Amino acid sequence: MECTKEITVEKESNIVIQGRFVDAVKEFYGQVVVSDGIITDVITKHSDFRKPDAEYNPNNIIFPGFVDLHVHSREDPKGAEQHKEDLSTIAAAAINGGVVAVMDMPNTKHAITTMADLELKQKKAKELPIDFHFYLGIGPETKPANHRFYKVFMAKSVGELYFRNFESLDAKMALYKKGIFSEPKVVSFHCEDPAMIEQDPERPEISELSAINKALDIIKKYQLVGNICHVSTRIGLQAIINSGLRVTCEVTPHHLLFDESNFRNYKMSDFITMNPPIRTKEDREFLLQALINSQIDLLASDHAPHLLEEKEKGIRGVPNLDTYGLFVTYLMQKMNPHNIARITSYNPGKFLGEAYGLIEKNGIGSFTVINPNNPTRVMHELLKTKCSWSPYEDVVFPGKVEATIVRGRLYNIT
Ligand SMILES: [Zn+2]
């Protein structure tokens, strides 16, 4: 990859890494051995150390590789938007941001709703240097397929894959209910109420609350494994917590950093628009505290790589992938590193049913090396996303991503 320098090790995807490791439950100084992409040994006794291929000063933290469960490539099998972010530029931006695996959304111009379309994307993804996971879209015309993960847009956002009212959504979701399939379907909901946002294009807080309540109702009624995407409001999050349901929920970097009272202070303020929109300072602070208190499961970026000329026309969404790791260094000033590992890797791994997130034998050999005290200014020249801009331009984050290791392949981030 031209974006980053690859160190050649004795054998592709085999590496001995030495330094200070932190995952969701433990911390140690030692060595981790990765063979064929999988952790085969964890060595903590100094006398047992081998010659390391990569050694990091203990001021750095080596986390299990970050997994971002919410990105929007614009790649579709019909090639409708070839001038926009494709899977290969997603991979470049991910590595740049310390992200080793992503989950890609289905609302491309030609929406991904069938296995045939999905398999074309999966085939391309296999050639790329990070792990890709995919959602299939649920829309008024779709049906369940031999796939586990689905995404629902409860109202119009970007693309044509959405529901016009809750009645048609509810009727459709009955087809996905538990018991029909050998394993329950996992469904992520973009929660905005279509009737309310039609009346108020500012997409008010109450439209998120109304849709979250409806999504929770559907999850319970059809016994789905449910996930609530990008919660942006205090009232929405409280509804999820108070429901007592075992659902997961996501928060984005932009809803944790920007609010109605501060966004004008940022250089790119004219383009800090997305669905759901940024909210009040009180909402933002509530989400941040809830994340610190482990009431939010996932830091998911909602990376939406729209071009600047599209932003000028008013399309909503912001790119977030190149800066995922930098944003983590902001959170590290507020949260303990075990909780960081939990929301960036362990919980995403649990969601996917894959061995991300724990540094132990048979875990996936992917890591993100963070120097928490090496301030980094975001400049568009350093971005790898094809859209080539960031809402955080000129923001100085407290730390830096030193390296991204994907299944034993090491990329130094310069
Ligand atoms: Zn999204």
Task: Quote the ligand 1 centre to 257 CA distance (angstroms).
Answer: 17
The pLDDT score that the predictor gives to residue 1 is 38
Task: Enumerate the domain spans of the chain.
Answer: 5-61+364-377+392-412, 63-352
Phi, psi of 196 (to 5 degrees): -70, -40
| Per-residue pLDDT at 78 | 85
Tell me the CA–centroid distance for residue 132 and ligand 1, in Å: 16
Could you tell me the CA-to-CA distances from 98 to 125, 225, 391 in Å, in that order? 18, 28, 18
Question: What CATH code is assigned to 5-61+364-377+392-412?
Answer: 2.30.40.10
Q: Which two tokens stand for residue 16?
A: 């001995």
**290: its two tokens:** 């809830």
The per-residue pLDDT for 80 is: 84
Those residues whose beta carbon sits under 5 angstroms from the ion ligand 1 are 302
Q: What six digits make up the tokens of 276?
A: 């759901």
How far is residue 348's CA from residue 275's CA, in Å, rounded to a whole number?
A: 22
For residues 184-213, give the mean pLDDT: 95
pLDDT for 4-27, tens place per residue?
445 444 446 789 999 999 999 999
68 C-alpha to center of ligand 1: Å? 12
List the CATH code of the domain at 63-352: 3.20.20.140
- Quick: pLDDT tens for 115-129: 999 999 999 999 999
**Confidence at residue 6, expressed as pLDDT on a 0 to 100 scale:** 52
Q: What is the pLDDT of residues 330-359, one digit of tens each?
A: 999 999 999 999 999 999 999 999 999 999
Q: How far is the CA of 285 from the centre of ligand 1 (A)?
A: 22
Neighbours of 205 (CB within 10 A): 18
Query: What pLDDT does residue 177 have?
Result: 95
